[in-house]
Amino acid sequence: MKTFRVLHPSAIRAFLNSQSSAGLVLMAAAALALIIANSPLRSGYEAVLHSNLGPLSLAHWINDGLMALFFLLVGLEIKREMLDGQLSTWPRRVLPGIAAAGGMAVPALVYLAFNQGPTAAGWAIPAATDIAFALGVIALLGNRVPASLRIFLAALAIIDDLGAVLIIALFYTADLSLPDLAGAGIFTGMLYGLNRLRVHRLLPYLILGGALWFFVYRSGIHATLAGVILAFTILMDRTPARPDGDARSPLHRLEHGLHLPVGYLVVPILGLANAGVPVLALPAGAFAAPVTLGAALGLLLGKVAGVLGVSILAIRLGIAHMPAHATRLHMLGVALLCGIGFTMSIFITLLAFPGAPMLQAEAKLGVLIGSLVSGLLGYGVLALAIRRQKSDAV
């Protein structure tokens, strides 16, 4: 049977625009959460999050259910970019891949320099990058940022997200239930079967994906991984001769359908539910706590050292090439933006310190400080790089 390879020259541009706009909405949601958590509304805010909806609290539904939708979209983007996008060839993967690896390893080492013993469990907190937030900040600079740099940041963040998924699967998995794990394996096999049979209807994938989420949740593996598994099994070949003229692949149809609800509803809800750190209620010592310092400096210093240092080394060795029309100052700005951890970092915080609200609060405080300073410095450095490039061109 003949297959078709989908080529969308404007796909990466549409992706960047959608993610950037969503990042601005996420910023507003995070700011609102911080305001509420440090106001008289705090008790009501916490009561709503801990209220039960069926077998789970609202916070659990958000972090296990809605987060799975977020990971589903991330998984779809990873698959599309690796098969038919900016990561489709090895030369294109080299620089963002190396930069992402450095940007995960060095922040973890910085965190561990401040934390040993039980708090060392949070080593992965500063290893993540929030793609929506980072692209939201770079969007504020408009078209003055070289397109190659925006694509590099997007590709790096996508690979970083994939690394975060693997970290969660390997290091933050509780005791396993073998029967439920077997059930998850069966539904994964059925999803793979739909792909091999080249099923183009989305409904069968979504029904089996819902069942997969249930068994993954019960198995002890974090339920968000069900979203990634589902994404990787959805067919990417386009539908030939559709009567309605929509020949897009199931993957492209689902990705397009998820962008708005995930970007403008799911991600802001995640920010609203998890960014509410009662800063005013924390003891003064929390700002100098090892967990706070490890998370903040891991994002601020570790990301810059990891992303920029490894990238420059790879370029000097001839392993990779500098993005077109970009300078080292541009690269420094992007490395700083990678220090915006936020959604993923806060999510890993919940997994690293279950049942430890004080440690969670310290880690969230560090994430907020590191992300805020990284974002402001990244914006400033990129603005400076743009001005210098413009003056040099005159």
Summarize pLDDT for 120-149 with one digit per residue, the tens: 999 999 998 887 778 778 877 877 888 788
pLDDT band at 38 (very low <50, low <70, confident <90, very high): very high
CA distance 239 to 250: 8
Structure confidence at residue 204 as a pLDDT band (50, 70, 90): very high
Which residues lie closer than 8 Å to 9 by C-beta, 6 or more apart?
A: none
pLDDT tens digit sequence for 170-194: 888 767 789 999 999 999 999 999 9
SS3 at position 205: helix
Rounded CA gap, 308 and 314, in Å? 10
pLDDT computed for residue 7 by the predictor? 44
pLDDT value of position 240: 53
* Cα–Cα distance measured from residue 342 to residue 337, given in angstroms and rounded to the nearest whole number: 11
The fold of the 15-30+57-173+222-393 domain, in CATH, is Na+/H+ antiporter like fold (1.20.1530)
User: 23-37, 110-124, 241-255, 325-339: which has the minimum mean pLDDT?
Assistant: 241-255
Mean pLDDT, range 318-335, rounded to an integer? 91
* 51-93 tens-digit pLDDT: 998 888 998 899 889 988 988 988 888 888 788 876 777 777 8
Helix (H, G, I), strand (E, B) or coil at 56: strand
Q: Return the pLDDT at 27.
A: 83
Contacting residues for 126 by C-beta, under 8 A, at least 6 apart: 107, 108, 110, 111, 294, 295, 297, 298, 299, 302, 303, 341, 345, 366, 367, 370
Please state, in angstroms and rounded to a whole number, the distance separating the CA atoms of residues 186 and 191: 9
